[in-house]
Amino acid sequence: MTKVLVVDDDFMVAKLHSRYVSATPGFTVVGVAHTGADALRAAGRLRPDLVLLDIYLPDMDGIRVLRELRGAGLGVDALFITAARDAGTIRSALRAGALHYLIKPFNQAALQEQLRHAAAVRGRLDALDEARQEDVDRIFGARPPGSRELPKGLAAHTAELVERALREHPEGLSATECAQAVGSLSRVSARRYLEYFAETGRAVVTLRYGGTGRPERRYAPGA
């Protein structure tokens, strides 16, 4: 279970983001803070794995909070959730070590996508002893030469989760079963990814006929 600390000066926004986190399988909110000082104290006490961090706080900005967390030696990742859009702030967040940067307003699906990405990065690092270059590329989100661009509306991390579900079910699975295996993904969304994989040769489609109605489309790993 990934422990999350939510930091936002707006009580209602913090409550909304906490609800998004709690609705994501594998994540739990361990605390909420509304100032930078409270965030630092809470992080030291609760030891979260991930901090959802606003830039605009009443006593110090979120980038300073992240730098102080780093200086304190806390092994915590940070995802900025903020209305700040200027390139300088985004650059500073990146240099401070942010995993990602979400500009408000955003919907539940956008935040959940980044939560899953953060957990996947942590999981990959925890599983590694010695990394190969492809491991590093995957962790840092680099796209190797010749790799495919995803169509608009498809996210790289979700595509990776769907592809993993395919590999774990070599006998094949339906879009509904894929959505259940991934979690926090609708059947319609799962089918979009599976159809994309089928179009690009990363999945093969078979039809399973029942008694009535349309045959069920089942997807298995491609060559």
Q: What is the pLDDT of residues 23-35, one digit of tens each?
A: 998 999 999 999 9
pLDDT digits (tens, 9 = 90+) for 1-54: 899 999 999 999 999 999 999 999 899 999 999 999 999 999 999 999 999 999
Confidence of residue 146 (pLDDT cuts 50, 70, 90): very low
Give yes or no for residue 144 having a pLDDT over 50.
no
- Give yes or no: residues 92 and 40 share one domain: yes
pLDDT band at 76 (very low <50, low <70, confident <90, very high): very high
Task: Residue 13: give the domain boundaries.
Answer: 2-125
Q: Regarding predicted confidence, which is higher, 43 or 146?
A: 43
Single out the residue in 125, 147, 164 at which a domain terminates: 125
CA 127 to centroid of chain Cα atoms: 18
Residues 91 and 14 in one domain: yes
Domains identified in the chain, total number: 2
* Domain identity same for 14 and 77: yes
Alpha carbon distance 164, 133 (integer Å): 20
Q: How far apart are CA 90 and CA 136, in angstroms?
A: 23
Q: What is the pTM of this model?
A: 0.65
Token reading at 212: 């009535």
Measured distance CA(42)–CA(37) in Å, rounded: 9
User: Before 105, cis peptide (omega within 30)?
Assistant: yes
Looking at the fold, whether 77 and 181 belong to one and the same domain comes out as no
